[in-house]
């Protein structure tokens, strides 16, 4: 490895150590793939109650990064002629339905993989760990209400990708997990990637942590419900995550030269299918961001007290993987990823900054915005826009008690029709303003999820 790369790696390690202290993260693992070479390192401990050192072999939950694995399986079946992205889902699952019948009849796999289905996407229901869990989950989707018109806007949708996983299971005649083993995990040589907690528990693995009165405390339960495996159930070590990243940096061939997907399909997965905001778009499951002409292909993942992030920079042959075992790891992931982008690719991701805005301009966004599980109310206080989040349901199931309301947060503008949270745990998070056909403020997009204005 060159001196330049060695220095870059040292900077990433130093950034990780500093961020762990700043954000009180018990354990983390970081991996870099660049120029065909891989560097990995573990930091901290697996569990504050029963600590073991985190090593590169330690298993972490990768949460929603799993969605890209599900999309990879879908595209394999598309190339095999078993699926089409643009046929109605009912072609494969005739009895599928959500609350809106027109959407039920017309929704396609492309809608599912681009988060444009438009219904309430955060159905978290424990259907047990039986082989019928996924089918029972999809049946329960009949209650999901339409929040935006089909295909109109990007709004993050866990249940849509779960449905895509059910389609994979249905057309292959296997469980989702068995189909994924055959279509993705085995062909890519991902021998340390697991869906079943029984497989995980014989290896060193981390538990999640939340913020407690005396510091990080173990978060429970550890597993997510089996029915949600297609949208967030994979567990792996950093080596397997980078091995998977290597495939998606390539032309569709595996490390041994076997062609798994065509180059055209690989390109399609990383090509914008729908715009989120200016230089932000969604491909087939991958999120796409452009900074100074350089495209980042990425996906994050959040489970119960664990945070993960995978970022690809195809122009530089670069992949960055970061996994942490704390809710506060979200900030660490962002800081370490930005450090690695700067050191290895010369990409400086600019954080949004507040601009001057009059009270009258800010007051135009005051109102109540709602979606399943979460209300956000914006109002004016002493000439400033203030936001209050209220949770109406809990996680990991809809019957879980709602978490307490966080403190109110100050909100400003960072560009026209884009708000910015100015303080608190979500400081620096932009909020997209989405207008309806009449030009009125119809929704806010917070954390990629649209919240409808109801007053």
The angle, 0 to 180 degrees and rounded to 10, between the axes of the packed helices 133-140 and 158-172 is: 130
Say whether pLDDT at 1 is over 70.
no
Nearest Cα to Cα of residue 64 among 298, 247, 288: 298
> SS3 for 397?
coil
Say whether pLDDT at 404 is over 90.
no
Q: Looking at residues 179-207, what average pLDDT do you find? A: 98
By residue count, the chain amounts to: 455
Which pLDDT score, from 0 to 100, does residue 166 have? 98
- Between CA 419 and CA 367 the distance in angstroms is 14
Q: Give the pLDDT confidence of 341-384 residue by residue, as tens digits.
A: 999 999 999 989 999 999 999 999 999 999 988 999 999 999 99
Number of domains in the chain: 2
Question: End-to-end distance of the chain based on CA atoms, in angstroms?
Answer: 58
Q: What percent of the chain has pLDDT over 90?
A: 89
Q: 366 and 337 in one domain? A: no
Q: 437 and 297 in one domain? A: no
- Between CA 305 and CA 19 the distance in angstroms is 17
- Between CA 71 and CA 266 the distance in angstroms is 11
Q: Give the pLDDT confidence of 167-187 residue by residue, as tens digits.
A: 999 999 999 999 999 999 999
Which residues belong to the active site?
Answer: 64
CATH code of 192's domain: 3.40.710.10
Which pLDDT score, from 0 to 100, does residue 393 have? 79
Which pLDDT score, from 0 to 100, does residue 396 have? 61
Q: 104 and 1 in one domain? A: yes
Q: 227 and 292 in one domain? A: yes
The CA-atom distances, in angstroms, between 142 and each of 97, 100, 137, 167, 442 are 5, 9, 9, 16, 25
Q: Give the pLDDT confidence of 148-173 residue by residue, as tens digits.
A: 999 999 999 999 999 999 999 999 99
Q: Which domain holds residue 363?
A: 359-453
Predicted TM-score (pTM) of the model is 0.95
CATH code of 419's domain: 2.40.128.50
For the chain, the average pLDDT equals 95
Q: How many CB atoms lie within 10 A of CB 36?
A: 8
Which pLDDT score, from 0 to 100, does residue 159 have? 97
Q: State which of 350, 371, 398 marks the end of a domain.
A: 350
């Amino acid at each position: 490895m060159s001196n330049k790369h060695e220095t870059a790696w040292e900077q990433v390690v130093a950034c990780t150590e500093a961020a762990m202290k700043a954000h009180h993260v018990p354990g983390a693992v970081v991996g870099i793939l660049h120029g065909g070479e891989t560097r990995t390192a573990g930091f901290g401990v697996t569990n504050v109650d029963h600590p073991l050192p985190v090593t590169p072999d330690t298993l972490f939950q990768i949460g929603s990064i799993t969605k890209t694995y599900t999309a990879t399986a879908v595209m394999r079946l598309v190339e095999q002629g078993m699926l089409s992205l643009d046929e109605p889902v009912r072609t494969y699952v005739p009895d599928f339905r959500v609350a809106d019948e027109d959407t039920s009849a017309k929704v396609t796999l492309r809608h599912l993989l681009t988060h444009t289905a438009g219904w309430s996407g955060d159905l978290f229901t424990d259907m047990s760990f039986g082989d019928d869990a996924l089918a029972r989950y999809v049946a329960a989707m009949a209650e999901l209400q339409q929040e935006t018109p089909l295909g109109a806007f990007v709004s993050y949708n866990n249940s849509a990708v779960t449905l895509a996983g059910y389609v994979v299971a249905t057309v292959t005649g296997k469980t989702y997990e068995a189909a994924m083993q055959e279509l993705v995990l085995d062909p890519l040589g991902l021998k340390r990637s697991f869906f079943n907690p029984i497989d995980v528990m014989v290896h060193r693995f981390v538990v999640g942590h939340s913020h407690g009165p005396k510091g990080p405390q173990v978060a429970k339960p550890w597993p997510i419900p089996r029915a949600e495996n297609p949208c967030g159930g994979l567990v792996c070590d950093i080596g397997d995550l980078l091995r998977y990243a290597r495939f998606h940096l390539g032309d569709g061939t595996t490390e041994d030269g076997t062609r798994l997907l065509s180059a055209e399909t690989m390109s399609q997965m990383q090509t914008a299918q729908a715009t989120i905001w200016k230089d932000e778009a969604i491909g087939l499951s991958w999120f796409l961001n452009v900074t100074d002409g350089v495209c980042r292909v990425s996906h994050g993942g959040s489970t119960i007290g664990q945070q993960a992030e995978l970022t690809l920079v195809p122009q530089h042959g670069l992949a960055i993987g970061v996994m942490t075992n704390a809710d506060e790891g979200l900030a660490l992931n962002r800081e370490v990823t930005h450090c690695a982008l700067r050191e290895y690719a010369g990409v400086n991701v600019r954080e949004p900054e507040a601009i001057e805005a009059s009270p009258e301009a800010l007051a135009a966004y005051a109102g109540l915005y709602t979606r399943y599980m979460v209300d956000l109310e914006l109002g004016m206080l002493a000439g400033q826009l203030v936001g209050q989040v209220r949770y109406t349901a809990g996680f990991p199931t809809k019957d879980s008690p709602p978490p307490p309301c966080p403190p109110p947060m100050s909100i400003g503008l960072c560009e026209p029709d884009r708000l910015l949270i100015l303080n608190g745990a979500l400081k620096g998070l932009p909020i997209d303003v989405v207008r309806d056909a009449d030009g009125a403020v119809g929704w806010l997009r917070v954390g990629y999820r649209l919240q409808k204005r109801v007053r």
